[in-house]
Amino acid sequence: MNAGAPARRRGALPETIVAAATPPGRGGIAIVRLSGPAVPAIAEVLLGATPSPRRATRASFAKLDDGIALYFPEPHSYTGEHVLELHGHGGPVIVEALIARAVSLGARRAHAGEFTQRAYLNGKIDLVQAEAVADLIDAASQSAATAALRSLQGEFSQRVRSLGDALAALRVQVEAAIDFSDEDLEALPEAALRTQLEAIAQQLTSLQAAGVQGRLLTEGMTVVIAGAPNAGKSTLLNRLVGHEAAIVTPLPGTTRDVLRERIQIDGMPLQVLDTAGLRAQAGDEIEAEGMRRAETAMAQADRILFVIDAAADPQARSYEAGATRLPAQVPVTLVFNKIDLRADGAPVAAPSANLPALGLPGIGLPSVALSARTGEGMDRLREHLKSAAGFAQGGEGAISARARHLEALARCANHLATARALLEDRNGREIIAEELRRASVSLGEIIGTESPDELLGRIFASFCIGK
Ligand SMILES: Nc1nc2c(ncn2[C@@H]2O[C@H](COP(=O)(O)OP(=O)(O)OP(=O)(O)O)[C@@H](O)[C@H]2O)c(=O)[nH]1
Ligand SMILES: [Mg+2]
């Protein structure tokens, strides 16, 4: 699957493992899979003979079942070890009996993700690809599945690797320049070093962007509903989740705590948070604490929906007033709510004729007009959220990335930025080389060349048994 992966990262794992590869319950076919050195010996006993490699072979499974056996001798298998698949009748009793028999013959029940872990340890796939296997299985939408498949096929790893290669090449040049400095040999002129550093930083930025899109697709984006008291934030939350999750009253200052709900929009996972209304002066200590919590929530959001009462505040003054409380790095969408009301608060017959006038302070920001009360315009908001997450584009350009990957990319970017700053300050090549080395280490953590065992344990434990 991946020619670039190093062969056998660790010593051989002597135990042979067994698990059902298909979900529990009744079905047309169930597959029991074994992997490890004892597979040929176990096959001899179970089937009477080891089947020819990679040929579907009809066999009796030790009188427990009758089906098709598939044998993949090492190293040409998913795990890189001898693998035997028994495709039998899809009943839980048969599956359990086959597993128990394999155990009696020396196999051990597999832990969650252990087959994929062995594929990783044997150099069949790298860590990003192993994680993509889990993401593909867990994908809740076609877009997430597309992104996961792209990572599984090595696109993400390839881009990380080519960045790593560029970094390594640059470091060699920088270090060579250190060695030759006595001889007054300008091995790598400063301008060339700057150009190469910039090129690498640019590649990294585009990889980060693709990764952020991927994370939004798989882990779901976090959207915080914010705005002035009484704008209709809680009503909007209720409308999005489809039930009365939050208390709604005509009194400003109703919501105090942060309310969290998980929803899906056409299969796209989304976490929505309702928060206390923001205003210049809190009425009491509870409201002040509510506003603090709202600010904390906003700082961690992928997007803020800033709700404006379009009837009472058509010029979006509340956004102007509240903008200073919003974290600078989080994108904002203005939601003009209550379009079922006229500017004087009276109901209107044709709500969409009441879109807010433009020339607003938040101009340039995306905006959606809707009525959380009647539901009008909610489809526009849903479409907007899908396209903001890159979901509407069917996962195009996204690679399935996890928070772990993005953090490592960010660390790499920091080291590169430091290296560039050091260069500008005419610092020694030694410390620049050191920053480049640290940047490489961060990249290595992503594909698993620099990953501690504890991290590996955590990653594979999140898999299902049998994968
Ligand atoms: N006509 C109309 N009324 C709305 C709409 N959305 C909310 N309201 C009303 O506005 C009032 C305030 O709604 P909430 O959802 O509690 O507002 P909020 O922003 O959560 O308010 P706080 O929690 O106090 O900050 C309630 O009386 C709602 O019924 C809407 O789209 N149209
Ligand atoms: Mg509220």
Residue 245's pLDDT band (boundaries 50, 70, 90)? very high
- pLDDT score, position 340: 93
pLDDT digits (tens, 9 = 90+) for 218-232: 778 899 999 999 999
Ligand whose nearest atom lies closest to the CA of 228: 1
Tell me the best of 233, 235, 289 to mutate to test the pocket of ligand 1, counting ligand atoms within 8 Å of each CB and taking the most. Answer: 235
**Residues 355-361: what's their mean pLDDT?**
45
**Residues 339-350: what's their mean pLDDT?**
71
Residues flanking ion ligand 2, Cβ below 5 Å: 233-234, 254-255
CA distance 422 to 416: 10
Higher model confidence: residue 399 or residue 331?
Answer: 331
Q: Is the beta carbon of 311 within 6 A of some atom in ligand 1?
A: no
Q: Token digits for 401?
A: 């990335």
CB contact set of 107 (below 8 Å; sequence gap of 6+) = 15, 16, 17, 18, 34, 36, 38, 42
Q: What is the largest CA-CA distance in the chain?
A: 86
Q: What DSSP letter does each residue of 103-158 carry, written as one string?
A: HHTT-EEPPBTHHHHHHHHTTSS-HHHHHHHHHHHH--SHHHHHHHHHHHTTHHHH
Tell me the best of 224, 225, 230 to mutate to test the pocket of ligand 1, counting ligand atoms within 8 Å of each CB and taking the most. Answer: 230
Has residue 109 got a pLDDT over 90? yes
Alpha helices in 249-371 (DSSP H): 285-299, 317-322
- In which element (H, E) is residue 190 found? helix 190-218
Cα-flanking dihedrals φ and ψ of residue 120, to 5°?
-65, -50
Atom index in ligand 1 nearest the CA of residue 229 equals 25
pLDDT digits (tens, 9 = 90+) for 384-394: 998 888 776 66
Provide the CB-side half-sphere exposure for 344 (13 A, CA). Answer: 1
- pLDDT score, position 217: 78
pTM attached to this predicted model: 0.69
**DSSP bridge pairs for 226:** 306
CA of 279 to the centre of ligand 2 (A): 13
Has residue 436 got a pLDDT over 50? yes
Higher model confidence: residue 418 or residue 185?
Answer: 418
Has residue 354 got a pLDDT over 50? no
320 and 327 in contact (C-beta within 8 Å)? no
Higher model confidence: residue 457 or residue 437?
Answer: 437
Encoded amino acid at 206, one letter: S
Residue nearest to atom 2 of ligand 1 (CA): 338
**Residues 344-370: what's their mean pLDDT?**
61
**Residues 233-259: what's their mean pLDDT?**
94
Residue nearest to atom 14 of ligand 1 (CA): 232
Of the listed ranges 317-321, 372-376, 397-401, the least confidently predicted one is 397-401
Residue 323's pLDDT band (boundaries 50, 70, 90)? confident
CA of 240 to the centre of ligand 1 (A): 14
Sign of the CA dihedral 164, 168, 170, 174?
positive
Residue nearest to atom 9 of ligand 1 (CA): 232
Residue 2's pLDDT band (boundaries 50, 70, 90)? very low
